[in-house]
Amino acid sequence: MKIISVLGSTGSIGTQTLDVVRNSEGKLAVYALSANSRADLFEQQIREFRPRIAVMMQEEKALYLKQQVVDLPVKVLVGMEGLLEAATAAEVDTVVTAVSGSIGLEPTLAALNAGKNIALANKETLVAAGELVMQTAERNGCSIIPVDSEHSAVFQCLSGNENAVKKIILTASGGPFRGWSRERLAEVTPVMALKHPNWNMGAKITIDSATMMNKGLEVIEAKFLFGVDYDQIDVLVHPQSIVHSMVEFRDGTVLAQLGIPDMRIPIQYALTYPERWENRLPELSLAGKSLTFEKPDLAAFPFLKFACSCGQTGGTLPAVMNAANEICVHAFLAGRIKYLEMHELVERTCQAHQVLEIKDLDTVLTADRWAREYAASQINLG
């Protein structure tokens, strides 16, 4: 039996992870769960999965939750301290990092330092501090198995051939505004951007998909996970989301991984690797389907190229870009800035930043905090 902690269990990846546990016939067990705001759903999860630790980030909600679950033998913890305990508990084998945003960085590093394997959904962690995270994993002999569908695909295609890679080709759905001009994008509202054609995801990543910042974050994620250079990573738009990514090898062979667009498949694989377990998900049916590929429109979606250039500069710049983007996405969702302003503000924040080399976690956290404050101050000026 594998014992897991799920950080962010009330979210899209978190609930799907629990679905995988539910269907594992007792081969997966939950030791700790964490939530931020959704106390009622969290209580249901605690009743069903009986974790020993339940972390509620928000203090008031934690007080409420404590009263709701007094009848259960669960320890209710609060805030970052609680997350760190959930990530490092001695009983846990694997930590699923399914929180949204760079808040996942500290618990991920703590988990690695405690010798835990990571099933990594929280890409912002690798964007903010990829080198630090990968080095910490290596030093502690831990594996980081990707949950992100593209990276799970690459991971599976690479298997055994890591030294013969020529190129990684990440596929992208193109989001809800594929084919739109920059002028037309000026009119995009949060309601329009929250409708993704193929995937049902949390709000933050759905907006990132609509701006293609998500693919930019994924390029940086791939760079660190697979140890390749930026010029070895290409992006192809594949609107059907069936081919989850590809790897081209030096002999000209290209391997691709295909599947229905359902995150439970890569989540399950991250938890069962190197085994493959059965499940009850629908089969992929290809008959009569056409699979198409096209180049991304970098003029309409400048975030993709911008994120790659921040990645190339390195140091604290990707952390700053990511933090500013988090602020902008939340401001866009709250109706405080327009769709096109997200790019302007993230770019302005990056330009104002004095890039530093990342020496330790503190350097990253300071840069992240600075970027949040700077981006927020620009929004308040506007």
- Residue 36 makes contact with ligand NDP by CB under 6 A: yes
Contact present, 195 and 340 (Cβ < 8 Å): no
And the tokens for 139?
A: 């030093």
Give the footprint of Mg ion on this chain (CB under 5 A). Answer: 148-150
- Residue 196 makes contact with ligand NDP by CB under 6 A: no
Exposed, middle or buried by CB within 10 Å (0-12, 13-18, 19+), for 160?
Answer: exposed
Radius of gyration of the chain (CA): 20
Residues 101 to 120: which contact ligand NDP by CB under 6 A? 103
User: Minimal distance in Å, beta carbon 335 to ligand NDP?
Assistant: 18
Rounded Cα distance between 340 and 211, Å, is 9
Rounded Cα distance between 193 and 339, Å, is 9
Site pattern 223..262 for ligand NDP (x: CB under 6 A): ----------------------------------------
35 contact choice in ligand NDP, Mg ion, none (CB below 5 to 8 Å, kind-dependent): ligand NDP
Q: Pick the closest to residue 43 from 29, 54, 32 (CA basis).
A: 54
215 is in an annotated binding site: yes
Provide the b/e sequence for 175-206 (b: ≥16 CB within 10 Å): bbbbebeeeebeebebeebeebebbebbbbbb
Applying CB under 6 A, which of residues 100, 156, 268, 378 lies at the interface with ligand NDP?
100
Residues 125 to 154: which contact ligand NDP by CB under 6 A? 148
Q: At 263, which amino acid appears?
A: M
Applying CB under 6 A, which of residues 87, 105, 112, 123 lies at the interface with ligand NDP?
123
3-class SS at 185? Answer: helix
38 contact choice in ligand NDP, Mg ion, none (CB below 5 to 8 Å, kind-dependent): ligand NDP
Applying CB under 6 A, which of residues 5, 45, 122, 378 lies at the interface with ligand NDP?
122
198 is in an annotated binding site: no
- Residue 318 makes contact with ligand NDP by CB under 6 A: no
Rounded Cα distance between 21 and 23, Å, is 5
Footprint of ligand NDP (CB under 6 A): 8-14, 35-38, 57, 98-100, 103, 121-124, 148, 199, 201-205, 263
Annotated binding residues for NADPH, written as ranges, equal: 10-13, 122, 124, 202
